[in-house]
Amino acid sequence: MSAYVIAARRTAIVPHGGAFARLSIEDLAAPVIAACLAGAGLSPDRVDEMIVSNALGAGGNPARRVALAAGLPLRVAGLSIDRQCAGGLDALLIARALIDSGAAEVVIAGGVESASRRPLRFATDPDGGPPVAYDQAPFTPWPDRDPPVHIAAAALADRLAISAVEQAAWAVASHAKAREMPGWPEIVCLAGQDRDPFARALTPALAARARPVAGSITAATAAVAADGAAFCVVVSQRIAAAVPHALRLVGGLTLGADPAEPGLAPVPAILAVLQRAGLTPADIVQAEVMEAYAVQAIACVQGAGMIPDRVNPGGGALARGHAIGASGAVLAVRLFHGLGQGVGLAAIAAAGGIGTALLAERQSSKPRNTA
C-alpha cells in the first residue's frame, strides 16, 4: 500500500505573547482540522485516527482534546506524541505506517503548540524540600552531554567555522523570502492572522546589532518561541486516486545521533532516506529544512549536500517562529503547497540528538502555492 497527503493547512505562526496568546491548543488546532477536511472533501466521520505532536503541554492526551474540539467522531481516540521539534513530522510517519499496514484509511496528522500558555513546571524534592521550578526537561541522562540548545548551536558554529556573518545572511534571506511570498493560501486565518507576522525587513546591519544569545548566535539567528498548529490529511491510495494533486509519502526516517550536537542530527536521516529511495540531493526539487538556528540549517544543508537555492523557498522558522510541536508539520504543509512536480524533502532536528526526514513526491503537476 501507499500513503498520500491530500490536504494540508496551518495557522500563521505567531511569536509567544502575540495574537494567539489567549488561545488554547484546541482553539488553534480545530479550525485547521476543519479546513483540512474541507480541502480533502471528507466528512469528519471518515477519520480513523488522529496523531498530534505537542511538546510543551501538561500531558493529558492533547490529541483527544483536539479530536473532540474538532468534532471528530467519539471513536477517534487520538494519539499524542512528544519528540520535541521532530514530533510534527513523526506524526506523519506514524500516519503513513497506519495506512501502509491497512489499519486505517484516513488519518489526520500534525502538531499544535502554545508557547504562550505552556504550564509552569516544578520538580519535587525527594528530601521534602520545596519544589524547584525548571524550564526544560533533560534530554539525556548525562548532564555533560545535554547542553542547552543555544549553547549546542554556538558550539556547532565554532566547530564548523560557520561565522556570525554567514548566519546573519541566512536569516536575512529567510525573512526576505517570506516577505516576497505573494500569499499564504495554506494558512487558515485565525485571530486576524492570515500570514506569518514575524517576517520583517531584516537587513545585515539590523542583524549585526541583534542581541547576543551565545557565542556567534544572536536573537536574529535563533527562531523565536511561537504558537501555532499544522495538520495534514493522510489517506490510502484508494482514496487518493480521485485527488489529482495528492502528495505520495515516499519514505521517512527518524534517527538518533550525538545528543551533544543535535543540530546535525537530520543529516544521517536525510542521507538514509535518499539512499533507500535511490535518490541523490540533486533529485530534490524543494526542501523544507527547520531553522531553529541559522547555523543548524546551514550545517544540515551543507552536510547533506543539498542545493541551497532549493531550500525553504518561502523562508523558514527564522522568519516565522518555532512552535515546537507543530514545526515539523509546518514543513510538511509548506511542502504540500509549494511542490509542483517531483520529489520534495522535509527535515528537522530535535533536542537530544534526534533527526527526522520525510520524502514526498507529486507526479501530476500542481501550481505552486495554491490552496
Residue from 16, 36, 85, 245 carrying the catalytic annotation: 85
Q: What is the pLDDT of residue 364?
A: 61
More confident residue, 306 or 138: 306
pLDDT of residue 125: 87
What single letter denotes the amino acid at residue 201?
A
- Structural domains in the chain? 3-117+175-362 (3.40.47.10)
* CA gap 111, 58 in Å, rounded: 15
pTM summary value: 0.95
Q: How confident is the model at residue 366 (pLDDT cuts 50, 70, 90)?
A: very low
- Residue-wise pLDDT tens digits, 45-68: 999 999 999 999 877 899 999 999
Three cell numbers, residue 255 = 534517527
Cα–Cα distance, 58 to 128 (Å, whole number): 23
300 is catalytic: no
Per-residue pLDDT at 369: 37
CA 41 centroid distance within chain: 25
Q: Quick check: is 150 catalytic?
A: no
Q: With b meaning 16 or more CB within 10 Å and e meaning fewer, what string describes 336-356?
A: bbbbbeebbbbbbbbbbbbbb
Task: Tell me the residue type at 228.
Answer: G
Residue whose grid cell is 522558522: 317
pLDDT at 228 over 80: yes
Q: What is the mean pLDDT of the chain?
A: 94
Q: What is the pLDDT of residue 370?
A: 30
Closest C-alpha among 6, 3, 1 to residue 364: 6
Q: Report whether pLDDT(26) > 90.
A: yes
- Of 16, 175, 245, 322, the catalytic one is 322
Residue 243 has pLDDT above 60, yes or no: yes
